[in-house]
Chain A
Amino acid sequence: MPTADFFPLLLAVPLLPLGAWLLQVLFGSRLPRGGDWLPTGAMLGAFVVAVLLFLRAWGLDDEYFVWSTSATGGGHGWKWLVSDPAFREGLAAFRAGLWYDAWTAPLLAMVAGVSFLVHLFSTGYMKGNSRYSAYFAGLALFSFAMLAMLVSDNLLFVFGFWEVMGLCSFLLIGHDSLDRDNPRPRAAAAAVKAFLTTRVGDVALLLGLAMLWNGFGTLQFHELQVAVPEMIERHQGWPQWLETAGLLVFLGAVGKSAQFPLHVWLPDAMEGPTPVSAMIHAATMVAAGVYLMARAFPVLAPGVLALVAVIGAFTAFFAATIALTQDDLKKVLAYSTISQLGYMIAAVGMGSPDGALFHVFTHGLFKAGLFLGAGAIIHACHHEQDLRLLGGLRKRMPLTYASMLLCTASISGVPFLSGFYSKDAILGFAADTWSQGAGPAAYLPLALLVLAAPLTALYMFRMFLLTFSGEARSEDAAQAKEVPMPMSVPLILLGLGAAVGSLLWIAQPHPTESGHTTATLLAGVSLVIGLGAALLFFQFKKASPARASAAFGPFTRAARGLYGVDHFYQAAIVVPSKLIGRACAGFDRRVVDGAVHGLGKLAIRAGEQLRRAQNGRIQSYIYLTYAGLLALTLFAVWRVS
């Protein structure tokens, strides 16, 4: 265990954007330039600190290292519920701390770096936006939450910051719905959809945490790592509740990382400004689900892992087929993100959280590069993002072209670029699992992942070639100009990152090492198939894409219709729950409140009936009086006898 104290620097990483956010909310609109330099500067600071930490950790030890406040005696813990250290009932015993290990180190640097670049890019992209300061406040708060999540040492705080990210995602997706000049009401709908869909997973995750806490009395990573094997040993197997808990935790990741069947929110989230898509919906927040799965890996039972692998691999394939049919630049990237996240989730499911996080790391770099490139294109083409109307941008935007080429090649798995290594790690692990004879449960994910690999190359190069090669197919594309200074820097840097970023990960020792000839072979063949097909269709025009898609007739139509998942949810969940809500409200008004009013009316009616006796005639009173007397007498006689 390294003795160096990471505490102050580690705390500074999330606190810098937090402070920037606070200042931005309070004074942002009154500062020069809308205060954009405040979060941007803070992110630069956070990035520098994260790199410093990374270097310090790198030089520290050549074994897989872990540093945490909780594991090193808890001098700095945050006693959250009751501050008295002697008070240890329930969650009062819970103490939150910081955590820094070989997974956190590169991810923290990657997230801080990408966030900084997105901030920088946004200063150009969002120029003139009517809610410029609010936008930067949202970005800063998001960066804080993501960084804080990465340095948390327990599942409860991971969940907490995870939810705050959800809020920021919600606000930023909906950002354009409040634009002064060009409001997009659909952005508001997309924001709500994104939050609610992920909320399904979040609630499940919270239940999972409740089960874990009641089972183990802790939510700290390092304590769970010890407690779970003990529990299994005591039980001689995985207790059923623990399997359920693992499943619930996985559901949380399904929502956040947009896995089937909760993937529907991510394509809609593209309504947000493109830098937001780059940061939140590609590089960082959606990868949080994978991060959670990696951290919660000890509590995932084998049965759950099998399901995780199948869901992840299925999502990877399923989303790739949809990406192939999309004509919107950002939608292609969105489905590509879903597909890549599927790879990562599948990696966790097959038992390689390390491979998954490696892919999170490289994917963060090249997908952010792709989205920022898309942002540059959209910016240059006056918000035209239909692939059918772009084209020929290679000469007009050479810098963007170069950056996106690197990123596209990287995601497609061109050898010696970042994506190649991380995908290789995953496929290698999958092949490994299979070759060890793990049965059909391991065979299915491998098959799906291998099928998805050439599709990835195909849809990515389809998008790339339709955008950059050939002739401009619209006025906007024909008049595009390369983006100016603050936006071009992030493109260059992310392009470089996409090329060589993986070195940073590989440089550090990790619990599982990767590299497989089978996998490399598989990846190479996939790349050749996918890239070849893309070139044939879209560069040399030797084959007609229309005829190819016609050959897959019903399949294409289904993919274009997103396999009906959205429609299904609309019909099976949204509409019925609204109807039930209306029925409940009607029930409340008519039956529950009606009963109360009915009781009131009954009293009034009864009074109306009784007042008839009050007719003012003395003689009828006399009758009544004696009738009452008689009744009382009879009653008395009956009681006595």
Chain B
Amino acid sequence: MGEHLLSAFVALPFVSALFVALLPKQSAAGQRFVAGTTMAAALAFLIGLVLGGFDTARGGLQFAESTAWIPSFHVNWALGLDGLALVLLLLSALIHFIAVIATPRDIAGSKGYYALLLLLFGGVNGVFLATDLFLFYVFWELMLIPMYFLIGIWGGEQRKRAAGKFILFTLFGSVLMLVGLVAVYLRSGAEGVAPTFDIYALQSQAASWMTDSGGMFGMDFSSWIFLLFFLAFAVKIPVVPFHTWLPDAHVQAPTPVSVILAGVLLKLGAYGMLRVAFPFAPDAFADLAWLVATLGVINIVYGAWVALAQTDFKRLVAYSSISHMGFFLLGMAGVAVAADGAAHFEAGTRFNALAGASLQLITHGISAALMFLLVGAVYDRAHHRDLGRMGGLGRVMPRYFAIATVGFFSSLGLPLLAGFVPEALTLFGAWPAWPMHVVVTAFGLMLTAVYLLQAYRSVLLGRTPDACASFRDLDRRELSTMVPLVIASVTLGVAPFLVLDLMAETLRTILAGLPPDILPATSIEITEGLR
């Protein structure tokens, strides 16, 4: 058992899904119970690992296991856990658990719904834990299918269209990933050794691809790998201009599915970049960091500006997700480039950037999930999401008011709430290498405040229209979905070390795998304090 701990963990949701499928159709409560217990058990297991078992002083993989799966293609069933994966798994388990609670008890076709939710959970866990690229790909695809059905069956009026758009966009990314995967597999065997799909073996080989001339159309192999994987994961993050599936999917998806989509699935794209796209092509990553930084800033500013003009509450929050995920890219660009000079500062700046980028995944997961729950609570009462027809909910729903204030301001990046920490870290870390980008980002921070406060005002402040006057305040079930996120947001804002302690060593390891481009001294006059 000990050496197959992670296999058991990955298998758990699939077994539960099977179990739910075997339950009689009419026992919705039983299905809900099985799904909820599975998520809770996973969460408890992970918390157990945090408390004892997981060694935070080690940056590498722990509980690693590997069994041959398809020997003729050197594909292994290989799993391993490091700090980053652990933190993301915790987030995923929490969000999935909340999603189960946030599901209405009387949801139609509950059997399929809960089974799909469990499959999704299993797929996500697999992606986070897989250390074999092929296995990673399999789990990646496995997780898309339940999402497609969850949107397409339980969504809003235009659900089929939105689900179709979602699947087409993500399949586009998957195809690119498949090409990249085959390419690195074949390349890894080119020197007369056995080819491999092992992500870490490929990472350590990647250094030798830098000088490789085996490219096409004037680009070297490393750049091709980078572009293929970057685009593959960019769809998922999503990076502008591959983002238009996200608002449609969010608007059509039921609340719990939106919560998972924003809280977990977007992070998978970023995780893929951190694990695969960047370390597989560190050279191209450093060369193309300007592109990563620019795309990040475009995400931040453009997403915020589009959000500014939205009248649909949920669309607005969806665009705010796009805007926030830009910080991940900006932070990563800060990792790629270091200023020439004192080693202490160089390492420190890049650590800030990486910590900001990876912490953004967690904090955005928390605040976006909270925001979508808040949207859902209003929608359940008003049956529309038109900001123009709401108002004054702070008067009729005081509990909602309190929680929404945390949600909005966490999203806005208010200190002492989760959103601030990664924003500050990213700005601090990206500043030396990308001062102009950071200035534009600061402008984006302004816009973020503008659209969030506009929405806050039209939902919570001002006059209460008659249609909203009779809304009941949040009930116990809704509170039990939101309060954990509120607590998480405040805790992370006050004591971010609770999360960073778990992954600090892992971040060190990742930094070591991404040798930076050293900026020439002349190009950073503005930060000459570094020397």
- Let me know if B71 is at the binding interface, CB within 8 A: no
- Let me know if B504 is at the binding interface, CB within 8 A: yes
Cα distance A289–B243 in the bound complex, in angstroms: 40
| 0 or 1 for each of B501-531: is its CB under 8 Å from A? (1 = yes) | 1001000100000000000000001111110
| Interfacial chain A residues near B409, Cβ < 8 Å | 167
B511's closest neighbor in chain A, by CB? Answer: A89
| 0 or 1 for each of B349-392: is its CB under 8 Å from A? (1 = yes) | 11110010000000000000000000000000000000000001
- Let me know if B310 is at the binding interface, CB within 8 A: yes
| Interfacial chain B residues near A131, Cβ < 8 Å | 395, 398
The answer on a CB contact under 8 Å between B496 and A81 is yes
Cα distance A214–B350 in the bound complex, in angstroms: 11
Known A81-B500, A239-B528: A90·B351 in contact at CB below 8 Å: yes
Stretch in B84-92, B174-182, B423-431 with 4+ CB within 8 Å of A: B423-431
Cα distance A90–B334 in the bound complex, in angstroms: 13
The answer on a CB contact under 8 Å between B526 and A585 is no
| 0 or 1 for each of B133-171: is its CB under 8 Å from A? (1 = yes) | 000000000000000000000000000000001001100
- Let me know if A63 is at the binding interface, CB within 8 A: no
> In this complex, which of A89, A171, A244 has the most chain B Cβ atoms within 10 angstroms of its Cβ?
A89
| Interfacial chain B residues near A183, Cβ < 8 Å | 392, 395, 462-463
The answer on a CB contact under 8 Å between A177 and B442 is no
Cα distance A581–B349 in the bound complex, in angstroms: 33
Distance (Å) between the CB of A205 and the closest chain B CB? Answer: 10
Known A178-B395, A210-B427: A244·B439 in contact at CB below 8 Å: no
Pick the contact of A87 from B398, B496, B504 — CB < 8 Å? B504
Stretch in A188-196, A328-336, A373-381 with 4+ CB within 8 Å of B: A188-196
B531's closest neighbor in chain A, by CB? Answer: A234
Pick the contact of A210 from B243, B420, B431, B454 — CB < 8 Å? B431
Of residues 136 to 178 in A, which have CB atoms within 8 Å of B's CB atoms?
156, 159-161, 163-164, 166-167, 170-171, 174, 177-178
The answer on a CB contact under 8 Å between A178 and B453 is no
Of residues 526 to 577 in A, which have CB atoms within 8 Å of B's CB atoms?
577
Of residues 184 to 222 in A, which have CB atoms within 8 Å of B's CB atoms?
185, 187-189, 191-192, 195-196, 199-200, 203-204, 206-207, 209-211, 213-217
Interface size of A as a range: 35 or more
The answer on a CB contact under 8 Å between B420 and A214 is no
A78's closest neighbor in chain B, by CB? Answer: B495
| Interfacial chain B residues near A92, Cβ < 8 Å | 348, 351, 355, 500, 504
The answer on a CB contact under 8 Å between A83 and B529 is no
The answer on a CB contact under 8 Å between A200 and B446 is yes
The answer on a CB contact under 8 Å between A196 and B405 is no
A199's closest neighbor in chain B, by CB? Answer: B449
- Let me know if A231 is at the binding interface, CB within 8 A: yes
| Interfacial chain A residues near B328, Cβ < 8 Å | none
- Let me know if A1 is at the binding interface, CB within 8 A: no
The answer on a CB contact under 8 Å between A134 and B305 is no
- Let me know if A180 is at the binding interface, CB within 8 A: yes
Cα distance A592–B421 in the bound complex, in angstroms: 32
Distance (Å) between the CB of B503 and the closest chain A CB? Answer: 10
| 0 or 1 for each of A44-74: is its CB under 8 Å from B? (1 = yes) | 0000000000000000000000000000000
The answer on a CB contact under 8 Å between A216 and B529 is yes
- Let me know if B332 is at the binding interface, CB within 8 A: no
The answer on a CB contact under 8 Å between B462 and A196 is no
Of residues 388 to 445 in A, which have CB atoms within 8 Å of B's CB atoms?
none
B415's closest neighbor in chain A, by CB? Answer: A160
Of residues 208 to 260 in A, which have CB atoms within 8 Å of B's CB atoms?
209-211, 213-217, 231, 239-242, 244
B498's closest neighbor in chain A, by CB? Answer: A83
Interface size of B as a range: 35 or more
The answer on a CB contact under 8 Å between A584 and B438 is no
| Interfacial chain B residues near A191, Cβ < 8 Å | 457, 461
Cα distance A91–B344 in the bound complex, in angstroms: 12
The answer on a CB contact under 8 Å between A82 and B446 is no
Distance (Å) between the CB of B252 and the closest chain A CB? Answer: 14
Known A177-B462, A200-B446: A160·B416 in contact at CB below 8 Å: yes
> In this complex, which of A84, A209, A600 has the most chain B Cβ atoms within 10 angstroms of its Cβ?
A84
| Interfacial chain B residues near A156, Cβ < 8 Å | 424
Cα distance A163–B415 in the bound complex, in angstroms: 6
The answer on a CB contact under 8 Å between A592 and B244 is yes
The answer on a CB contact under 8 Å between A582 and B416 is no
The answer on a CB contact under 8 Å between A82 and B395 is no
The answer on a CB contact under 8 Å between A214 and B428 is yes
Known A79-B497, A164-B414, A588-B306: A203·B454 in contact at CB below 8 Å: no
- Let me know if B407 is at the binding interface, CB within 8 A: no
| Interfacial chain A residues near B463, Cβ < 8 Å | 183, 185
Cα distance A134–B461 in the bound complex, in angstroms: 14
Cα distance A244–B528 in the bound complex, in angstroms: 12
Cα distance A580–B451 in the bound complex, in angstroms: 13
The answer on a CB contact under 8 Å between B347 and A89 is yes
The answer on a CB contact under 8 Å between B310 and A585 is yes
| Interfacial chain B residues near A89, Cβ < 8 Å | 347-348, 351, 508
Cα distance A164–B463 in the bound complex, in angstroms: 26
A244's closest neighbor in chain B, by CB? Answer: B526
> In this complex, which of B309, B345, B402, B431 has the most chain A Cβ atoms within 10 angstroms of its Cβ?
B309
| Interfacial chain A residues near B240, Cβ < 8 Å | 592
Known A82-B500, A183-B392, A206-B424: A178·B432 in contact at CB below 8 Å: no
The answer on a CB contact under 8 Å between A90 and B355 is yes
- Let me know if B263 is at the binding interface, CB within 8 A: no
> In this complex, which of B405, B431, B451 has the most chain A Cβ atoms within 10 angstroms of its Cβ?
B431
The answer on a CB contact under 8 Å between A588 and B528 is no
- Let me know if B296 is at the binding interface, CB within 8 A: no
The answer on a CB contact under 8 Å between A240 and B525 is yes
Distance (Å) between the CB of A447 and the closest chain B CB? Answer: 35
- Let me know if A504 is at the binding interface, CB within 8 A: no
Cα distance A92–B504 in the bound complex, in angstroms: 9
| Interfacial chain B residues near A210, Cβ < 8 Å | 424, 427-428, 431, 438
- Let me know if A15 is at the binding interface, CB within 8 A: no
Cα distance A187–B395 in the bound complex, in angstroms: 14
| Interfacial chain B residues near A241, Cβ < 8 Å | 525-529
| 0 or 1 for each of B446-458: is its CB under 8 Å from A? (1 = yes) | 1101110110110
Cα distance A204–B446 in the bound complex, in angstroms: 10
The answer on a CB contact under 8 Å between B394 and A178 is yes
Distance (Å) between the CB of B323 and the closest chain A CB? Answer: 11
- Let me know if B308 is at the binding interface, CB within 8 A: yes
| Interfacial chain B residues near A592, Cβ < 8 Å | 240-241, 243-244
| Interfacial chain A residues near B395, Cβ < 8 Å | 130-131, 178, 180, 183
Of residues 259 to 314 in B, which have CB atoms within 8 Å of A's CB atoms?
302, 305-310
| Interfacial chain B residues near A244, Cβ < 8 Å | 526
Distance (Å) between the CB of B522 and the closest chain A CB? Answer: 14
Cα distance A299–B172 in the bound complex, in angstroms: 52
Of residues 588 to 623 in A, which have CB atoms within 8 Å of B's CB atoms?
588, 592-593, 595-596, 600
The answer on a CB contact under 8 Å between A195 and B449 is yes
Distance (Å) between the CB of B521 and the closest chain A CB? Answer: 14
| Interfacial chain A residues near B169, Cβ < 8 Å | 596
- Let me know if A522 is at the binding interface, CB within 8 A: no
Known A177-B462, A207-B427, A592-B240: A196·B504 in contact at CB below 8 Å: no
- Let me know if A639 is at the binding interface, CB within 8 A: no
The answer on a CB contact under 8 Å between B308 and A25 is no
- Other CB < 8 Å A-B pairs besides A199-B449, A211-B529, 12 of them? A89-B347, A90-B348, A131-B395, A166-B414, A167-B405, A178-B392, A188-B457, A192-B454, A203-B445, A210-B427, A211-B526, A215-B529
Give 16 pairs: A residue, B residue, CB < 8 Å, sorted on A.
A90-B347, A131-B395, A167-B405, A171-B405, A196-B453, A199-B449, A204-B442, A211-B431, A215-B529, A217-B344, A577-B447, A581-B308, A584-B302, A584-B309, A585-B306, A588-B244
Binding site for A on B (CB under 8 A): 165, 168-169, 240-241, 243-244, 302, 305-310, 344-345, 347-352, 355, 392, 394-395, 398, 401-402, 405, 409, 414-416, 420-421, 424-425, 427-429, 431-432, 438-439, 442-443, 445-447, 449-451, 453-454, 456-457, 461-463, 495-497, 500-501, 504, 508, 525-530
